[in-house]
Amino acid sequence: SSFQGLSIRWYWGDKVNSIWYNPQLHSAIFQTLRLSCYTTIIAVPVGVAFALGINRWRDRISASFNFLMILSFVVPELIFGVALYFIFTQMPGLRGVGLGTLAEVLGLVSWNLSWPAIIVQARLVTLGKQYEEAASDLGCTQLQTLRRVMLPLLMPAIFASAILVFASVIDDFVVVDLLSSTGATQP
């Protein structure tokens, strides 16, 4: 093939082959965006709380949770997906979840939870304890310190992790949603 230039034809210019005019592609894109938003809204706050907890809590259990946080970087996505498939279809308590949007969101949140946790934990390590100690010396409670001091300092890390989670979900699900919306069998 030869390069013929850049075009937006495949998004909305072509009435036959573009994403905007093909109903299956159109619904796959919107389902992907919906999953990305749900996953980002759930995974980022939970990951930030997870990072704060691991940073404050120093013992063997904390080390175990730290290992679990890194697990999604070690385990291949295919193995993780197959394990979640068996959990959602075979476990008696989770059979009601099914294999729809809820199962996809739960799987994506558990897979992408490590992004915000690792990024925020790295930011917490660089910040140190001096800001919290200064806020405590000035009379702030722990909740006030978190809300007025730590969250503004962590906001760049939280924003970066939200972008990574959103992009990761889009990367994972465009093809899967396309296969499920066209009725093709998934590999």
The per-residue pLDDT for range 107-149, each reduced to its tens digit, is 889 888 889 999 998 898 888 788 888 888 888 888 888 888 8
User: pTM of this prediction?
Assistant: 0.77
Rounded CA-CA distance 135/139 in Å is 7
pLDDT the model gives residue 186? 43
Confirm if 109 and 43 have CB atoms less than 8 A apart: yes
Report the sign of the C-alpha dihedral through residues 92, 90, 43, 47, in that order.
positive
Amino acid in position 183: G
Tokens of 149: 């001091």
Would you state the pLDDT for residue 185? 45
For residue 155, what pLDDT is reported? 94
Residue 148 CA, distance from chain mean position: 26
Q: What is the pLDDT along the chain (187 residues), one digit of tens a residue?
A: 788 777 777 777 777 777 777 778 778 888 889 999 999 999 999 999 988 888 877 777 777 777 777 777 788 878 877 888 888 787 777 666 777 888 888 888 988 888 999 999 889 888 878 888 888 888 888 888 888 888 898 999 999 999 999 998 888 765 555 555 555 444 4
- The residue written with tokens 């007025």 in the block is 148
**Residue 166: its pLDDT value, please?**
95
By the 10 Å C-beta count (0-12 exposed, 13-18 middle, 19+ buried), 108 is classed as buried
Half-sphere exposure of 148 (CA within 13 A, CB side): 12
Residue 40 structure tokens: 């980002």
User: Which tokens go with 132?
Assistant: 């919290």
pLDDT the model gives residue 15: 78
pLDDT at residue 12 in the model = 74
Residue 16 is predicted with a pLDDT of 74
- 50, 69 contact by CB (below 8 A): yes
